[in-house]
Amino acid sequence: MTRVKICGITEFEDARDAALLGADAIGLNFYPKSPRYIDPSRASKIIEKIPPFVTPVGVFVNHPDPGNLEDFALSLGLQAVQLHGNETPDYCSMIQRVKVIKVIKVDSSFRVDTLRNHGSGTFLLDGGAPGTGTAFNWNLVYGANAFGSIIIAGGLTPENVSEVVTTLHPFAVDVASGVESGPGKKDYEKMRRFIEAVQRADVAIMGAP
């Protein structure tokens, strides 16, 4: 079954609704320049309150010290860090105590076999400007599943996510702006329709001959 991550959570109520609707993970953005930035103390309170089996993921961009990043993640109770910057394979390998999701920009020069050079094993494939909700050409990432657990992001909405699931069979899909009423403010109905669209696509795949 395709996992769903609702990213850019800034309010506990949105985290609670996402969990109740069936989201597998929530994303908390610690990049100060992001419109979805959340203060660590506020994020900690959300993490404390979310139900079990919902994975809290921290979003970071070019944090200068992987050891310090790892300590910070553990202090908040994050179970994974999602790295949106120019972090190298060596940088990623230095983070051992939490899971690493490496974000890879997909543009016309992208080749799926380059994923083997990163080694983290879990990749979030996003558009040319990660975090902006810009879609990319999904045809460019066929075969990516051979190199690890693949998460698809970038311009996903309740209207198009089923196509991603049925054509690419990703491990997970990740959405922020596609289920918002404004930056950092989630829309309950959009989240519901997004998650239901993923579930319907999964059922259709399982029922296919």
For residue 209, the model assigns a pLDDT of: 58
Pair 198, 173: CB distance under 8 Å: yes
Distance between CA atoms of residues 114 and 136, nearest Å: 17
Q: How far is CA 142 from CA 96, 104, 126, in A?
A: 29, 14, 14
Pair 127, 136: CB distance under 8 Å: yes
Tens of pLDDT, residues 5-14: 999 999 999 9
Task: Check if 126 is active-site.
Answer: yes
Model confidence at 114, pLDDT cuts 50, 70, 90, reads confident
pTM: 0.94
Task: Check if 7 is active-site.
Answer: yes
For residue 130, the model assigns a pLDDT of: 54
Tens of pLDDT, residues 128-184: 665 567 789 999 999 999 999 999 999 999 999 999 999 999 999 999 999 999 988
Q: Which domains does the chain have, with CATH numbers?
A: 3-207 (3.20.20.70)
Q: Catalytic: which of 7, 14, 92, 174?
A: 7
Distance between CA atoms of residues 174 and 157, nearest Å: 10
Pair 143, 123: CB distance under 8 Å: no
Q: Catalytic: which of 14, 17, 92, 126?
A: 126
Distance between CA atoms of residues 83 and 102, nearest Å: 5
Tens of pLDDT, residues 183-203: 889 999 999 999 999 999 999
